[in-house]
Chains A and B, each alone.
Chain A
Amino acid sequence: QQQVKQSPQSLIVQKGGIPIINCAYENTAFDYFPWYQQFPGKGPALLIAIRPDVSEKKEGRFTISFNKSAKQFSLHIMDSQPGDSATYFCAASKVQGGSEKLVFGKGTKLTVNP
């Protein structure tokens, strides 16, 4: 059973565009929703995370939108740049459950063309 469903699998945008990556979760007990960014040949790195007590969080050009009732959250990248080309993973867990309970989506490969 896949607990976090991520879409799309791949995404191509032009420089300056606003790619949006969506994730849906099933377990209503999840209360921590991070996004990880992975460049080729590197391990994933935490990009931004949100807790369900807020509906939106911004860090620079990256924004997470969270819809608790729909059990969905999404990543928006404003003014996307070629350097944002990477694979993005959403994830979810319970804070009390420990990091070993973190469940990852299958990833979205983003390509930003110049």
Chain B
Amino acid sequence: DAGITQSPRHKVTETGTPVTLRCHQTENHRYMYWYRQDPGHGLRLIHYSYGVKDTDKGEVSDGYSVSRSKTEDFLLTLESATSSQTSVYFCAISGSAGDSPLHFGNGTRLTVT
């Protein structure tokens, strides 16, 4: 799995609570991404990072924030979880070029009740 670890793998939380998902890589790749996967929607980019402390928004960034204080760690935070954020979240890493393959982690299944 290209040295990518997502934690936790499963989480159930209540509406309105904060949640942080962690992605840890051992590949020293510059680029890191957070995607969500939902039936009928495929994979949608939430946020991405192109370096330490350098992040930008993706297609579905509302309600999410990210931080990257070290090359190896990329955190995704739901400040106040909502039921619409129930999803499977994938972290991915890649090299610098646009045709570099994305290497995905095994995902975090988040349920917001």
Contact = CB atoms under 8 A, between A and B. Distances in A.
A99 B92 CA distance: 10
Contacts of A36: 102
Given A95-B99, A107-B42, A100 B106 contact: no
Contacts, number: 72
The size class of the interface chain A forms with chain B is: 20 to 34
Contact of B104 (A44, A96, A98, A107): A44
A51 B68 CA distance: 32
A46 interface: yes
A102 B92 CA distance: 12
A96 B4 CA distance: 25
Given A43-B1, A43-B104, A45-B104, A101 B98 contact: yes
Given A43-B92, A89-B43, A104-B42, A99 B100 contact: yes
> Chain B: interface residue count, which band?
20 to 34
B25 interface: no
Contacts of A114: none
Q: Is the interface of A mostly helix, strand, loop or mixed?
A: mixed
Nearest to B58: A100
Interface in B96-113: 96-107
Contacts of A49: 99, 101
Contacts of B44: 104
A89 B106 CA distance: 16
Interface of A: 6, 32, 34, 36, 41-46, 49, 51, 89, 93-102, 104-107
